[in-house]
Amino acid sequence: MVESFVYQAAPMRVVFGSGRLADLAAELDRLGIKRALVLTTVQQKSHGEQIAALIGNRAAGVHAGAVMHTPVDVTEVAMQQVMALQADGIVAVGGGSTIGLGKAIALRTDLPQIVVPTSYAGSEMTPILGETREGLKTTQSSPKILPETVIYDVDLTRTLPPAFAVTSGINAIAHAVEALYARDANPVVSLMAEEGIRLFAGALPKLAAGEDDAAARDDALRGAWLCGACLGAVGMGLHHKLCHTLGGTFNLPHAETHTVILPHAMAYNAPAVPVAAARVARALGAGQAAQGLFDLTQGLGAKVALRDLGMPKDGIERAADLAVSNAYWNPRPLERDAIRDLIARAWAGDPPV
Ligand code: NAD
């Protein structure tokens, strides 16, 4: 069969390598940024201060106020800083939460953004922003949201706690898995997806063991770039919708929820997408995609049950209702009873079927 597809690349610049944070001043110059507001979380304040010291008087200030799920009131506080300091650009250093705050500011101001990702979540590669208002998370896409420049410096990932490196890595793998069976899948994105999964499957056992293995860290960050590029390039399906619903409804942690759900979502979709499932299995070096993902997760010591993340048992029916309440594309049609069983197995920590 001759394939037919559309491929569109996101217009962004990627600077990659150990020590490449040293390029930050030059990258600011490229974008004409003279007064950057450096964003991060309280937990990574030292990363923010390191960056401010590096760029000297090009730093207007450090705002260590980012939190998970980009609440609008948190963005409003940061916006006051942008205005008070007359910032003309954003440098976001951190995981998806910090990057989300930078995107929210860029959406409101169209200021240029340089992102220095320190986790594997992949938000830096997408024009998508999820914001929370009064507990409800809504997602939007705009060219203003896409960062102009991304600096992947592996040195900043050395402080990632091993357990978070694992769940963040599986979060990244989830983008690649769904890209392989996306409605708008194409050969270039599928190559990136398979390579991204392969890199993480090799690197994560070393990171989980707490080894300070430079090659494994490098592979994982390269995998994060590739998987994030998949997320930015093609549409996602059941897995991402389910994680969004579960995270928002039961306030579950982002990367951990992806980690629990992924083997089950793969099992649900596998019969409809045998070629994509075979590519996932091949990238994992496993006999079968869904079981391979479950074995990887369990072998890395990650939690495999939603109940261990704090989801109540009586939430299973509600989650199933919500998961099928908004129609969206998925390679296998959304069947309420089968999705309810999927959630129940994920809640209990059972293997995928
Ligand atoms: P996170 O950014 O909340 O990070 C979790 C914690 O780890 C934070 O305290 C953070 O400061 C810390 N951390 C991150 N990197 C570290 C490092 N190298 N060393 C030490 N501590 C570090 O979590 P996340 O999983 O990266 O991001 C989750 C958020 O990103 C969610 O809100 C999710 O919706 C969003 N996200 C959005 C997109 C998108 O395209 N819009 C894509 C992926 C994720």
> At 191, which CATH number?
1.20.1090.10
pLDDT value, residue 3: 83
| CATH number of the structural domain spanning residue 92 | 3.40.50.1970
CA 270 to ligand 1 centroid distance, Å: 29
Confidence at residue 130, expressed as pLDDT on a 0 to 100 scale: 94
Out of 131, 157, 183, a domain closes at 157
Local confidence pLDDT in tens for the 353 residues of the chain = 678 999 988 889 999 999 999 999 999 999 999 999 999 999 999 999 999 999 999 999 999 999 998 999 999 999 999 999 999 999 999 999 999 999 999 999 999 999 999 999 999 999 999 998 887 788 999 999 999 999 999 999 999 999 999 999 999 999 999 999 999 999 999 999 999 999 999 999 999 999 889 999 999 999 999 999 999 999 999 999 999 999 988 989 999 999 999 999 999 999 999 999 999 999 999 999 999 999 999 999 999 999 999 999 999 999 999 999 988 999 999 999 999 999 999 999 999 99
Strands (E), 156-280: none
Residue 267 domain boundaries: 160-348
**Number of independent structural domains in the chain:** 2
Same domain membership, residue 332 and residue 304? yes
Whole-number Å distance, alpha carbon 198 to ligand 1 midpoint, is 22
Q: How many other CB atoms sit within 10 Å of the CB of residue 110?
A: 11
For residue 337, the CA-to-ligand 1 centroid distance in Å is 32
**Do 164 and 150 have their domain in common?**
no
Give the mutation target among 21, 164, 257 for probing the ligand 1 site: most ligand atoms within 8 A of CB. 164
Q: Same domain, yes or no, for 142 and 175? A: no
Domain boundary, last residue among 157, 190, 218: 157
Q: Would you say the CB of residue 141 lies under 6 angstroms from ligand 1?
A: no
269 and 189, same domain (yes or no)? yes
Residues 310 and 210 in one domain: yes
Measure 326 CA to ligand 1 centroid, in angstroms: 26
This complex has an ipTM of 0.99
Amino acid at 120: Y
Domain boundary among 142, 157, 172: 157
Do 144 and 175 sit in the same domain of this protein? no
User: Are 41 and 126 found together in one domain?
Assistant: yes
332 and 228 within one domain:
yes
Co-location of 205 and 193 in the same domain: yes
Residues 181 and 221 in one domain: yes
pLDDT at 1: 66
120 Cα nearest atom in ligand 1:
26
Q: Is the Cβ atom of 247 under 6 angstroms away from ligand 1? A: no
Task: From the CA of 130, give the closest atom in ligand 1.
Answer: 41
293 is a domain residue: yes
Q: Is the CB of 129 under 6 A from ligand 1?
A: yes
Cα–Cα distance for residue pair 103/75, rounded to 1 Å: 10
